[in-house]
Amino acid sequence: MPHSAARLPTLGPTPLALSDWAATALEPMGHKPARHHALLLRQLARIGAGEIDRLMVLMPPGSAKSTYASLVFPAWWFHRHPTSAVIAASHTAELAAHFGRNLRNMMAENAEALGYRLARDSHAAHRFATSEGGQYFATGIDGPITGRRADLVVIDDPIKSQAGADSALSREHLWNWYRSELLTRLKPGGRVVLVMTRWHADDLAGRLLEAGDDWTILRLPALADSADDPLRRAPGEALWPGWEDAEALARKRATVGARVWASLYQQLPAPDNGGLFPITRIAIAEAAPAQLRTVRAWDLAATAATEGRDPDWTVGIKLGRDAAGQIYVLDVVRLRAGPHEVAQAIVNTAHADGAGTRIGLPQDPGQAGKVQVAWLTSRLAGHRVTASPETGAKATRATPVAAQVEAGNLTLVRATWNRALLDELRDFPHGRKDDQVDALSRAYSLLGTAAPAMRRARVSLFAR
């Protein structure tokens, strides 16, 4: 037990159990703790008992973590430590006051069960006291905490938005606030609970994990992703099926994109420099210039999407390059379908692109692959078709076009497919899908071998 445990005055030998208090407090709302709530309560009870002094709770949005960590737990904390002081911090003073107001109401409505009442002058949402001498103060990041001290600090939702998470300046500001302002308010032996969803590899949780401090970590992804899941869920099992089942989460996953899903929902943000493609260097143009040499390359799959399955995509990416060497992603065709529909999509797309656009197809090894390519080529009569097998690792094949991205030589034409492509590039090679990356790699390779248009040039004598 940490040295801090004996420093805090507590109630008698048989205080109200946190799990029992949670059931009492939430019953009028018709809310019953789910499995993950029970696990969270057990960890919070360890903070209350002094068994641990640092707890990090990482859960997705909508998991009711704030209900337990910012409402149920602080009310019980004052039952267990009646004369202590609590500082609660959130990304804005408004959110902090929201938590404080709901906590104050919960305490007032359950005074008999808790064994204390609100002090008579406790009217503010962000600052109040108990009849036993407990003190609660809620603040936003950068709020006025100088002069205050705390036995317990609860940090709930310290990051307001993706823009703030992506800002290096904002991340540094939050880190400095935590170290130099908030922690200095903690009394000797004080305890800290951090509750958040992950937004960025370098967010507050990421920095604390990197710093190597002795934190107890409770990470519960929206969908179980490992054999050592804290709830012993099977891979792919939803966190709170009664609220949002696996099917609903799959729809959400398709909407929010790979990056948001990995960070906010799975609590596994990828580092900005962890992928092969630095997508911040990709420009988006309203239109492409005329007179481009164009190619379209395909990555083939032939499985239709069905309920409960997440098959690969057939992807055809059209690239163009201007005389200065700038590369444009002009169009992305993406479908999940059977062999016949895929073949028809390739033919239809080729007719739409015109005979001037060279076509690149992958050739599977063996005789079956040769037959497939021969059949597709016969249906593309009048078009220039190049087929070749995939060789080497995917990341190796993608490196040449990734270098063009790094150099700022890749531009997307603004379209609805931009986000899906950027998400996949950002997460490669760690993302779930890489079909667009494969097609882009092949298209860039094909573009490099396409014969340039002949131009008459005047070259001075000394330039020869």
pLDDT at 309: 62
Residue 405 and residue 346 share a domain: yes
pLDDT at 7: 46
Structural domain including 260 reads: 3-265
- CATH number for the domain spanning 359: value is 3.30.420.240
Of 265, 296, 313, the residue at which a domain comes to its end is 265
Residue 378 confidence class, pLDDT cut points 50, 70, 90: very high
Sheet with 216-219, strands from edge to edge, namely 127-129, 135-140, 85-90, 150-156, 186-196, 54-58, 216-219
Domain membership of residue 228 (yes or no) is yes
Residue 291 and residue 338 share a domain: yes
**Taking the CA of residue 450 as centre, how many other CA atoms within 13 Å lie in the half-sphere pointing to its CB?**
25
- CATH number for the domain spanning 124: value is 3.40.50
Instruction: Supply angle C-alpha 275, 281, 287, rounded to 5.
Output: 125
Structure tokens at 360: 């690149």
Of 237, 265, 293, the residue at which a domain comes to its end is 265
Structure tokens at 354: 């015109």
For the chain, the average pLDDT equals 87
Residue 299 and residue 261 share a domain: no
- Residue 400: asked if its preceding bond is cis (omega within 30°), the reply is no
Report the domain count for the chain.
Answer: 2
Domain membership of residue 180 (yes or no) is yes
Residue 209 and residue 74 share a domain: yes
Residue 461 confidence class, pLDDT cut points 50, 70, 90: very low
Q: What are phi and psi of 244, to 5 degrees?
A: -150, 110
Domain membership of residue 420 (yes or no) is yes
Domain membership of residue 165 (yes or no) is yes
Residue 355 and residue 331 share a domain: yes
Instruction: Supply angle C-alpha 228, 230, 232, rounded to 5.
Output: 70
Domain membership of residue 351 (yes or no) is yes
pLDDT for 310 beyond 80: no
Residue 449 confidence class, pLDDT cut points 50, 70, 90: low
Residue 370 and residue 257 share a domain: no
Residue 429 and residue 403 share a domain: yes
Higher pLDDT, 21 or 458: 21
115/305 Cα distance (integer angstroms): 57
pLDDT at 457: 33
Domain membership of residue 273 (yes or no) is no
The string of pLDDT tens digits covering residues 178-194 is 998 999 999 999 999 99
Residue 195 confidence class, pLDDT cut points 50, 70, 90: very high
Residue 164 and residue 128 share a domain: yes
3-state helix, strand, coil in the chain (%, to 5): 40, 20, 40
Mapped onto helix, strand or coil, the DSSP state of residue 7 is helix
Domain membership of residue 323 (yes or no) is yes
Residue 256 and residue 287 share a domain: no
Residue 305 confidence class, pLDDT cut points 50, 70, 90: low
Domain membership of residue 330 (yes or no) is yes
pLDDT for 146 beyond 80: no
DSSP state letters, 241-263: TTTB-HHHHHHHHHHH-HHHIII
Residue 175 and residue 87 share a domain: yes
The string of pLDDT tens digits covering residues 29-38 is 888 999 999 9
pLDDT at 29: 86
141/315 Cα distance (integer angstroms): 45
Residue 159 and residue 17 share a domain: yes
Residue 245 and residue 208 share a domain: yes
Of 239, 265, 291, the residue at which a domain comes to its end is 265
188/364 Cα distance (integer angstroms): 66
The string of pLDDT tens digits covering residues 109-132 is 999 999 999 998 877 888 899 999
